[in-house]
């Protein structure tokens, strides 16, 4: 099945890319979630507009992405979570909670879908978090989870 991506999909492509995927993946996940549209000749013409807008935005955002990276890496992000004995959390820390913690610490507003956390955060302590700000810029910071 040929589709056109409308949002960035990890491991598949960026907005405006025309990709070939399995029928079930496209029909049952990408199309209903709004990550893609079905490929047609008319839709292919829209791809050029999407790509042109994306390239203009990326060139404009590269310097801004580097500024945000410097700001994030200098930031100390602390987050309170309920925990039991032994420092084990009740549940796990979600990307939305990480984004809220960064904002509460005085950091910029981030997109939770761009966060890259290795494994699930289910314990108290310091955990590395990466975020893809731009195709060429990835920032890393430490999330300190404390009992609260």
Domains, in order of start, for the chain: 2-61 (3.40.5.10), 69-147 (3.10.430.100)
Q: What is the percentage of the chain residues whose pLDDT exceeds 90? A: 38
List, for residues 40-57, the tens digit of each pLDDT value: 888 888 788 777 776 655
Q: In the predicted model, is pLDDT for residue 113 greater than 70? A: yes
Give the pLDDT mean for 136-146.
90
Question: pTM, whole model, 2 decimals?
Answer: 0.64
List, for residues 88-105, the tens digit of each pLDDT value: 999 889 999 999 999 999
> What pLDDT shows up at residue 47?
81
Lowest average pLDDT, out of 50-54, 61-65, 141-145, goes to 50-54
Q: What is the percentage of the chain residues whose pLDDT exceeds 70? A: 95
Q: In the predicted model, is pLDDT for residue 58 greater than 60? A: no
In whole angstroms, what is the distance from residue 86 CA to residue 70 CA? 34
- Confidence label for 127 from pLDDT (cuts 50, 70 and 90): very high
**Exposed, middle or buried, 141 (CB in 10 Å: 0-12/13-18/19+)?**
buried
CA dihedral sign of residues 82, 128, 73, 100: negative
Q: In the predicted model, is pLDDT for residue 120 greater than 80? A: yes
> What pLDDT shows up at residue 128?
92
CA dihedral sign of residues 82, 85, 88, 90: negative
Beta-carbon contacts of residue 114 (< 8 Å; ≥ 6 apart): 131, 132, 133
110 compared with 59, residue with greater pLDDT = 110
């Amino acid at each position: 099945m040929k589709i056109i991506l409308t949002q960035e999909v990890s491991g598949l492509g960026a907005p405006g890319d025309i990709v070939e995927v399995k029928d079930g993946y496209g029909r049952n996940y990408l199309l209903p979630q709004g990550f893609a549209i079905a490929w047609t000749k008319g839709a292919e013409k829209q791809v050029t507009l999407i790509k042109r807008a994306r390239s203009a935005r990326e060139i404009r955002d590269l310097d801004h992405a580097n500024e945000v990276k410097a700001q994030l890496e200098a930031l100390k992000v602390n987050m309170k979570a309920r925990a039991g004995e032994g420092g084990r959390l009740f549940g796990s820390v979600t990307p939305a909670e990480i984004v809220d913690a960064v904002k509460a610490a005085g950091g910029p507003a981030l997109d939770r879908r761009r966060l890259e956390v290795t494994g699930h955060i289910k314990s108290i302590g310091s955990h590395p978090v990466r975020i893809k700000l731009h195709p060429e810029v990835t920032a890393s910071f430490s999330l300190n989870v404390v009992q609260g």
